Amino acid sequence: MRYLLFALALGMFPTLGFSFEVDNRRIFSAQTESQVLKVISTADLDLFAGVIEAFQSQNPSVSVDYFEVSSTELVKALVEDDAQFDLAVSSAMDLQTKLANDGMALPFRSEFTAQLPEWAHWQDLVFAFTQEPAALVFSARDFDRQSVPRTRQDLIAFMRSHPMQFKNRVGTYDIRSSGLGYLFATQDARTSETYWRLAEVMGNMNAQLYCCSGKMIEDVGSGKLAFAYNVLGSYAAAQTNNQDDIIIVEPSDFTTLMLRSALIPKNAKQPQLAGLFIDHLLSFSLEASKAGDFPFPTLQRDVLEQETALRPIRLGPGLMVYLDRLKRKNFLKAWENAILQKQ
């Protein structure tokens, strides 16, 4: 390797006076360091490492200090702790939008951002660089690739007719702790009433609740779960070691598309460098030749036009509605009623 990698366990860091929780951190040192780009991100470090290394091969004097956190911790770090980061990358579009709306982001313009479609950016503040479907992941032991349910209705019917097979073997996000899970759930509920019926049925099966996609996919692969609902398809596809054990399905009634997005926090020390990194992220989508090197699905305008089932979540103030204190309380209450069957 051309440069040193530090893979450091969380416990080895002093918390630096911050209260947010860091899941993982790595410093990608440049050989001749002149600038440091501090990135706070929800993206899996192992998936993102390739993107950072590609950036460093073009900007060899830049070291990247990468903090992997959950989406709620990301907001906590930027808003409550006022921590200094140059770039915030998150899958929680609603939280990113709220950060920008509340004046926590710096504007950025470049020839790359100018090429973004309308739905892939909000103002000059938030820029989407992936489109990742919320997928169903089935265990290959329980389902046949040909006859796997392809819509939510089919899935509900399947579960109802085979209750014993699914008892305790259904997984989904715990939306109370997972920002992405909450985003997916609220968008599903907004799109179709079927969501609530599905949640009800999953609750009947005593659904297992997870913090993250990775763990869910692992459990589906091992057969612990028969299927998991609203898993990031990109993560499932990236786990190449258990491709035979899982079946990834993008529901054909509708598939919610999450757009992973980046913004430059207002207290960034290197906003120009962060802009360079945003251009780097966008270039995978905007330059066809680079798409293959990207660990995430790139933005694809034409696919959205052809496949009506794909519903990208639009960046914009509408996303802030579900972040409202009362709205969130109501939604979580309804969700708990359905999934936890608490009355």
Partner 1 sequence: MNDHVTATRSIRRRLIVRLLASAAILAVILFLVVQSFGRQLGQESQDNILAASVTSVLDAVTVQDGALNVDIPYSAFSMLGNISDDRVFYRIEQNQAYLTGYEDLPFAEGLTTESQPAFATEQYLGEDIRLVTASRKLSLNNQPVVVRATIAQTRNGQKQTLRQISQTVLFLGIGFFAIAMVLTFYAAQSTIGPLRRLAASVSRRGPQDLRPVESPVPSEMVPLVRSLNQFIGRLKKSLSQSEEFIAEAAHRVRTPLATVRMQAEVTLRRVERDENREALREMIRAIDESSRAAGQLLDHAMVTFRTDHLVVESFDFQVLVDELVTRLRPIAELKEIDLGWQMGKPALIKGDAILIQNAVRKLIDNAIKYSPTESSIKLTLSQGRSGISLQLIDQGIGFPEKDFELLTDRFVRGSNAQDTIGSGLGLTIADDVANAHGGSLELKNNTEGVGACVTFYLPLR
Q: Shortest Cβ distance from residue 307 to partner 1 (Å)?
A: 22
C-beta closer to partner 1: residue 60 or 317? 317
Q: Shortest Cβ distance from residue 116 to partner 1 (Å)?
A: 12
C-beta closer to partner 1: residue 271 or 316? 316
Phi, psi of 82 (to 5 degrees): 55, 35
C-beta closer to partner 1: residue 215 or 314? 314
Q: Shortest Cβ distance from residue 124 to partner 1 (Å)?
A: 9
295 near 238, Cβ under 8 Å?
Answer: yes
Q: Shortest Cβ distance from residue 193 to partner 1 (Å)?
A: 14
CA 191 to each of CA 248, 255, 309, 312, 317: distance values in angstroms, whole numbers, following the listed order: 21, 10, 11, 11, 17
159 near 166, Cβ under 8 Å?
Answer: yes
Angle at 146 between CA 299 and CA 174, to 5 degrees: 55
Rg (CA), the chain: 20
Task: Tell me the two tokens of residue 160.
Answer: 């109802």
For partner 1, the binding residues (CB under 8 A) are: 100-103, 122-123, 190, 314, 316-322, 324-327, 330
Which SS3 state, helix, strand or coil, does residue 75 take? Answer: helix
Q: Shortest Cβ distance from residue 265 to partner 1 (Å)?
A: 15
**Interatomic CA distance for residues 245 and 221, integer angstroms:** 5
Q: Shortest Cβ distance from residue 103 to partner 1 (Å)?
A: 4
DSSP state of 77: I
Distance between first and last Cα of the chain: 57
